[in-house]
Amino acid sequence: MMFIDSHAHMISRTTDDYEAMAAAGVVAVIEPAFWLGQPRTHVGTYIDYLSSIIGFERFRAGQFGIRHYCTVGLNSKEANNEELAEGVMEILPRFALKDGVVAIGEIGYDDQTELEDKYFRLQIDLALELDLPVMVHTPHRDKKRGTIRSMEVCKEHGIDPSKVVIDHNNEETVRDVLDRGYWAAFSIYPSTKMGTERMVDLLKEYGPERIIVDSACDWGISEPLGVAKTAMLAKQKGIDDETIRLVCYQNALDAYGQSGQMKEDDWLNPPAIDQRTVYEGNSILRGQREPVVGELTSKHTLDNLIIE
């Protein structure tokens, strides 16, 4: 089975994670521009960060047969540094049309401040101008109100709900999001966001329509196999294959594919130039390895002492 992890901060992950994801069937990842943990203090570091996720990270993923896409945007936390925010807004249009940029994101609210609101709105307008989808980060705190407010602002700016993915949903937010016609993404992230068992229950209740499962793996204690593990557990619990395919693959492709920058052919039948340069092909698609979720042996044991 092929998977897309439509929210993965691979810049913070190791090559072991890429290996494990490829082995588990992940064919593509989307890397949203986000907060690095340490606040940035110069627009220059932001520029270099965006260059990294459109450049070196794409190459790094390609070495493991994983297609790498990204979203660009000013995240909500750093929107509160006005000087930085102004600088980022100035350079953002130049990055938004680069190869493999599938949305403006992740944008939205953190503390729901005035500055966050200002730059969220400006970036929705940018997405409208460039005809790009939007990935909305919903806040950790005061989540339900923040989620509804995000959708109200989207509506006010006239962006079609089918172009907006509302991410990091939970049991409390999903109904509103689906009712209003948005894509509802769930981040399988231990302890803070969504768990695999709860996710399976949600699939039983809501079905597959407009639901997307991602991992949101980053520099925190998180799980790059979140999508694959959800798929396996869902199968064990009797969810049908088509539902799993939609929520762990197809819906993300349909939502972000609206950018024109992400097509199934990218991994099934990649252009010759890409095969020569940034994408080495997926070993599973080449039939060399079976997906081995749950049987992966960690390199980080002292059982094998040979390093070549």
Sequential DSSP letters for the chain: --EEESSB-GGGS-HHHHHHHHHHTEEEEEEE----SSPP--HHHHHHHHHHHHTHHHHHHHTTT-EEEEEE---TTGGGSHHHHHHHHHHHHHHHTSTTEEEEEEEE-SS--HHHHHHHHHHHHHHHHHT--EEEEPPSSSHHHHHHHHHHHHHHTT--GGGEEEES--TTTHHHHHHTT-EEEEEB-TTTSB-HHHHHHHHHHH-STTEEEE--B-SSS--TTHHHHHHHHHHHTT--HHHHHIIIIIHHHHHHGGGSS--THHHHS--HHHHHHT----TTTTTS----TT-PPPS-SSS-----
Q: Closer CB to other proteins, residue 271 or residue 294?
A: 271
In whole angstroms, the minimum distance from the beta carbon of 153 to other proteins comes to 28
The least CB distance from residue 50 to other proteins, in Å, is 8
**CB-nearer residue toward other proteins: 50 or 239:** 50
User: Closest separation between CB of residue 274 and other proteins, Å?
Assistant: 7
Nearer to other proteins, 7 or 68 (CB): 68
- Smaller CB distance to other proteins: residue 114 or 306? 306
Residue 33 C-beta: closest distance to other proteins, Å: 14
Question: Least CB distance from residue 80 to other proteins, whole Å?
Answer: 25
CB nearer to other proteins: give 185 or 262: 262
- Cβ proximity to other proteins: between 302 and 307 the closer is 307
Residue 45 CB, shortest distance to other proteins, in Å, is 13
Q: Which residues bind other proteins (CB under 8 A)?
A: 47, 50-51, 54-56, 58-59, 91, 94-95, 97-100, 260, 271-278, 280-281
Whole-number minimum distance, CB 298 to other proteins, in Å?
A: 24
If the CB atoms of residues 98 and 198 are measured against other proteins, the closer one turns out to be 98
